Amino acid sequence: MTLRNSFLVITMAILLVAACGDSENNPQGGGTNPTASTLTASVSYNTATLSWTECPDDDFASYVVYRSESSGIAANPAAATIVATITTKATITFDDAGLSWNTPYYYAVNTVDSSQLTAWSNEATVTTPDSSGGGGGGNALTCYEIQGQADASPYDGDDVTVTGIVTSEAGELYAGSAGDFVSIMDPQGGEWSGVVLFGYDGIMNSLERGDSVVVSGYVSEYYEFTEVVVNSVDFVDKGHAIPGPESISTLDISEEKWEGVFTAVHDVTVTTDPTSYGEFNVDDGSGEGMIKLYQFSTSTGDTYSEIIGVVLYSYSNYMINARDENDITQ
């Protein structure tokens, strides 16, 4: 081999080594890593919404979205879960639904180019709210907020999402033949802490006492009775403690602040015989209040140690609507 040929071989070998390189950040060799995205995240009850900046590079291949319940995704991606792989450059949002409640989640987006070079976004985190009702996160309102501490709800006529604990099931409160009532209550209880839901076509038939629910619909002041007409049941979590009943006087039954609330009166005497709708008055010494239980048999002078139920408003009367005969104790 001539000296000139040897020089050419050595020169080519040097150029080949330089082209291959050995950088851990760029294991594929020549080329530039893609532009990293900036990631933001928000949560609406148990759905995380992610958005990030668009990659401007011509050799873009994909966004790979990672989720983990611990931080440090870029350092250990194998411990995270890939929740989406997006190959359209302009698609820069993703909704991660069905998350566990009351749980922190961490997210990162890894941008990949056509040479399989990558760049990590920043890490964003969200925490889903508690599912126990009363402040279900995002746009979910409490019963207290729906009631607005006034005769009419501040949300009258508005589309809303509301959360609470079921205190009475479909068919337990008298709603007429058009639909069904279900009552829900904020877990902490108290004045203004309950709301009655109204639904058509059995939409709430699967709900049971103690369910934590998130429902969507619209607020209606139906003949001055605040109710949420339900269009969808968005979430159900079973087995929660039922709040209340809130102990009130028979005279208190007629106060707006107890509308929709699961309540109890004690040591009462029946002062009127039941109507054909099962409505009768009782008195604990504070003044008369109305009780309702369809087809319940009682007479003036009968006494009861406790009557529990949900306060409704109908035909200009507030009343405790007992859910069944077990709510009336002698």
Q: What is the pLDDT of residue 182?
A: 96
Tell me: the pLDDT tens digits for 165-210?
999 999 999 776 678 999 999 988 999 999 999 999 999 999 999 9
Tell me: the pLDDT tens digits for 90-110?
999 999 988 887 789 999 999
Tell me: the pLDDT tens digits for 233-289?
988 888 888 998 999 999 999 999 999 999 999 999 999 999 999 999 999 999 999
- How large is the average pLDDT for residues 78-83? 97
Backbone angles phi, psi at 118, to 5 degrees: -135, 160
Domain limits, the chain: 33-127, 131-243, 245-330
Q: Are 265 and 249 in contact (CB under 8 A)?
A: yes
What is d(CA 213, CA 238) in angstroms, rounded to the nearest whole number?
Answer: 9
132 pLDDT higher than 60: no
Class of the domain covering 245-330: mainly beta
Q: Count of alpha carbons within 13 Å of 314, Cβ hemisphere only? A: 18
Q: What is the pLDDT of residue 28?
A: 43
Pick the CATH number of 33-127 from 2.40.40.20, 2.60.40.10, 3.40.50.300, 3.40.190.10: 2.60.40.10
Output the CA–CA distances (angstroms, integers) from residue 11 to 6, 114, 178, in the order listed.
9, 30, 89
What's the predicted TM-score (pTM) here?
0.65
What is d(CA 279, CA 247) in angstroms, rounded to the nearest whole number?
Answer: 20
326 pLDDT higher than 80: yes
Domain 131-243, architecture per CATH:
Beta Barrel (2.40)
Tell which wins on pLDDT, 137 or 124.
124
